[in-house]
Amino acid sequence: MQTTITFILDDKIISIDFGNSSKLTPTTTVLNYLRSLPAHKGVKEGCAEGDCGACTVVIAELIKNRLRYLAVDSCLVFLPMIHGKQLITVENLKINSEHLHPVQQAMVDTDGSQCGFCTPGFIMSMFALYKNHTNPTRAQIDDALTGNLCRCTGYRPIIEAAAKSCIKNGMDHFTRDESRIIELLKSIPEESVHIETDRQRYYHPASISEALELKSKYPDADVINGATDAALRVTKKHALLETVIDLSGVTDLLYIDESDTAFTIGAGISLTGLMPRIKNDFGALYSILEVFGSQQIRNFATLSGNLATASPIGDTLPVLIAYGASVVLESTRGKREIPVEQFITGYRETAKESDELITAVILPKPAEGEIFRSYKISKRKDLDISTISSGFKLVPGNDEKVESIILAYGGMAEKIKRADTVEQFLTGKEWNRITVEEAMQYIDDDFNPISDVRGGAEMRRVAAKNLLLKFWVETASIEVV
Ligand SMILES: Cc1cc2nc3c(=O)[nH]c(=O)nc-3n(C[C@H](O)[C@H](O)[C@H](O)COP(=O)(O)OP(=O)(O)OC[C@H]3O[C@@H](n4cnc5c(N)ncnc54)[C@H](O)[C@@H]3O)c2cc1C
Ligand code: FES
Ligand code: FES
């Protein structure tokens, strides 16, 4: 057990001992840590909630003897989460005092910066794009920059800078240094970190058994995974998290197993790690993840975190219900599996006992002929909270009839909920426009939505009905088995 964290910054090993530090706590964000250093003030705080990207940094982590570069919002990352990783800031990018990194030079050449407040964040997102893609498509550039806002330059020159610079297979001075950085990272022991200060206990276990022991000992502890939701309690509500169990160092949770019938997704897998693996088999989950937050958020956020929030607008929940997914809950007492629909019991309430952790999510593979869709309605296409989200499943039967149907909605009630009456009405009926239009009326029996800043109750009712119609329009032409 160690009480310090160790990571790489400015090509050097840095250790922080929270016991001896007067200013830093285990829930100090990487943003605030960097801002406290004289040589790292390039990183900016705009919103402190993951929305503006001004605080973007890149974390390089060692995966199978290679470095993976991830853009993250440093305002949402607690310091112990970078234990054993390399932290790269905008100050590290220039090649030498005369030569900028290609992404920086391109930004200068295209006049991509005016006041400059957003620029370090854009540069770091662009740097991650540079390391991960060569000749990115416009869609890939847009996706990489979705999490960064600029209020004065306009996006055209910034996008142009990304397109012009990301052409060198990611080769740069970081590539030359990679083997040295890998050796340095390997020299950091993969041990559990246990930090205790006067006001806080922060556990960063290295194994699932240890995490379960901790949860059993401290059932009221705040569990964090990607912290993209949990960190806001610190940055926006200024809460003191007294006991934290941080799962981000539990390597046993970083797996995706595929069998003939299902995918089992370890609770530590980030949404970015998940997306390429499920793209073919779970297209409706993939498409909702394409509009989930931004890359900075998806690089750390997890499915298990989204489920555990039990938010009525958690985007993956309706589609997970449609797929018949289940949650694996573990404690020192044992292990159980529970369908997502039963896991969510109320407004931000779940069936999880206080000593349990989510250790995996199981996604059964769709059977031949089953049709899935997901839809998200929000004020903006990208990086926005859902007004309504939905996950639908249709099992077509004989004679163009509906054998069975699942219509799960978010944003329509205090929790994610299925349209039971509509489903019952449609089952056994022909999947045609007349029946679907009739079925749409029963949405009023199933839901009594509220009005809030994102949308009025009437708008929600109409939109929910129209999503059903959209589902029919998109699937009616699919040949019924
Ligand atoms: C800018 C921004 C954009 C966002 N966009 C979206 C969006 O488009 N759609 C959407 O649905 N959400 C969005 N979110 C919310 C958040 O990113 C998601 O809910 C995410 O999936 C949370 O995952 P996480 O691993 O970061 O969870 P954390 O923040 O680490 O944890 C969230 C909650 O889950 C619990 N928890 C996490 N893992 C476990 C586990 N293994 N066992 C038990 N409990 C656990 C924690 O205790 C905590 O209560 C956004 C958030 C931000 C800041
Ligand atoms: S400060 Fe806005 S995303 Fe971090
Ligand atoms: S250059 Fe001013 S906010 Fe982007």
User: Which ligand lies nearest to the CA atom of residue 53 in the structure?
Assistant: 2
User: Which ligand lies nearest to the CA atom of residue 148 in the structure?
Assistant: 2
Q: Work out which ligand 1 atom sits closest to the CA atom of 293.
A: 5
- Measuring from atom 1 of ligand 1, which residue has the nearest CA? 50
Q: Domain 102-171: give its CATH code.
A: 1.10.150.120
457 vs 287, 391, 421, 447, CA distance in Å? 26, 20, 19, 10
- Measuring from atom 3 of ligand 2, which residue has the nearest CA? 50
Q: Work out which ligand 1 atom sits closest to the CA atom of 317.
A: 11
**pLDDT tens by residue, the chain, 481 residues:** 567 999 999 999 999 998 766 689 999 999 999 999 999 999 999 999 999 999 999 999 999 899 999 999 999 999 999 999 999 999 999 999 999 999 999 999 999 999 999 999 999 999 999 999 999 999 999 999 999 999 999 999 999 999 999 999 999 999 999 999 999 999 999 889 999 998 999 999 999 999 999 999 999 999 999 999 999 999 999 999 999 999 999 999 999 999 999 999 999 999 999 999 999 999 999 999 999 999 999 999 999 999 999 999 999 999 999 999 999 999 999 999 999 999 999 999 999 999 999 999 999 999 999 999 999 999 988 889 999 999 999 999 988 899 999 999 999 999 999 999 999 999 999 999 999 999 999 999 999 999 998 899 999 999 999 999 999 999 986 554 4
254-475 is a CATH 3.30.465.10 domain:
yes
Q: What is the gyration radius of the CA atoms in the chain, in angstroms? A: 23
Centre of ligand 2 to C-alpha 418, Å, is: 35
**Residue 450 CA neighbour count, 13 Å, CB half:** 9
Distance CA 275, CA 259 (A): 18
Under a CB-based contact definition with an 8 Å cutoff, are residues 112 and 39 in contact?
Answer: no
Q: Work out which ligand 1 atom sits closest to the CA atom of 352.
A: 43
Q: Work out which ligand 1 atom sits closest to the CA atom of 50.
A: 1
Q: Which of 409, 442, 439 lies closest to 341, judged by CA?
A: 409
Centre of ligand 1 to C-alpha 230, Å, is: 7
User: Which ligand lies nearest to the CA atom of residue 57 in the structure?
Assistant: 2
Buried b (16+ CB within 10 A) or exposed e, 183-201: ebbeebeeebbbbeeeebb
4-92+175-249 is a CATH 3.20.20.70 domain:
no
Distance CA 248, CA 321 (A): 26
Centre of ligand 2 to C-alpha 393, Å, is: 36
What are the residue ranges spanned by the domains of the chain?
4-92+175-249, 102-171, 254-475
Q: What angle do CA 114, 119, 123 make, to 5 degrees?
A: 140
